[in-house]
Structure 1
């Protein structure tokens, strides 16, 4: 049971990291077993996925988008990073437990930024404004 509690704690931490991104929200298009993290600009119905949190064969996995140039490097450097399960292997990595919080934060931010960079200009501006407002209220 200790392992299950650890998984719940890790799942919660990873979800909080994803949801801390400006304009991020959770969606469940595949059912309650998998959480899809999306970001949307002005129209929330046009959200784009930047993360997928799931249990794969009893193991917690977070799929994140990655720069293709960095994907192979990250996979060779960290045993916890592998090609994205059920995703485009060039652009997505699957992350497993064992990486430190700072690295996880960087991986989530990189995935988020890649998705936002591919959005239309007005949506990018809207998301950046949300980030500015959020930071302003925290200070």
Structure 2
């Protein structure tokens, strides 16, 4: 997947997430996706390369960086909690959608329960919460 397809796939996924909003607080070169005012995804170009910056569980972020050459520490973000995803041959649509949804769920889980637009432990996992 190339960089522009990567960003389109990530944006399309983010647009479908409940309560997600696109903002440009850092100017037109940065697309910032938030849920209830909290950032879960950023998109920009790092010297000519389109990238997607996502929140990730620290243990998973480390494993992803070890496994994939197109995943690096978060650009201009906390390197332990954020990853940067670039387009590449080992990056596919399912991976992008999963990483975007995981980032969203991590941020939603930090919101007060009354502000959570979805149940973060089960949203997007294919399972349902008990009634």
TM superposition score category, shorter chain reference? 0.7 to 0.9
Residue in 2 aligned with 1:52?
Answer: 42
TM-score (norm 1): 0.79
Look up the SS of the partner of 2:44 in the other structure: strand
Residue in 2 aligned with 1:71?
Answer: 61
* 2:24–2:31 contact (8 Å) kept in structure 1: yes
| Post-superposition offset of 1:96 | 0.3
State the alpha-carbon separation in 1 of the partners of residues 22 and 67 from structure 2: 30
State the alpha-carbon separation in 1 of the partners of residues 87 and 4 from structure 2: 12
- 1:22 is aligned to 2:18: yes
Q: Any stretches of 5+ residues in structure 1 without a counterpart?
A: 1-5, 41-46, 132-139
Bigger-Rg structure (1/2): 1
Residue in 1 aligned with 2:102?
Answer: 110
RMSD of aligned C-alpha atoms?
1.6
Look up the SS of the partner of 1:109 in the other structure: helix
Relative CO higher for 1 or 2, CA cutoff 8 Å, sep ≥ 6? 2
| Post-superposition offset of 1:7 | 4.5
State the alpha-carbon separation in 2 of the partners of residues 8 and 80 from structure 1: 14
| Post-superposition offset of 1:80 | 0.6
**Superposition map of 1:1-139 within 5 A:** 7-40=3-36, 47-98=37-88, 99-124=91-116, 127-128=117-118
* 2:6–2:96 contact (8 Å) kept in structure 1: no
State the alpha-carbon separation in 2 of the partners of residues 92 and 8 from structure 1: 20
State the alpha-carbon separation in 2 of the partners of residues 84 and 7 from structure 1: 16
TM-score (norm 2): 0.84
Residues 54/108 of structure 1: CA separation in 2 closer, same or farther (3 Å cut):
same
Q: Any stretches of 5+ residues in structure 2 without a counterpart?
A: 124-131
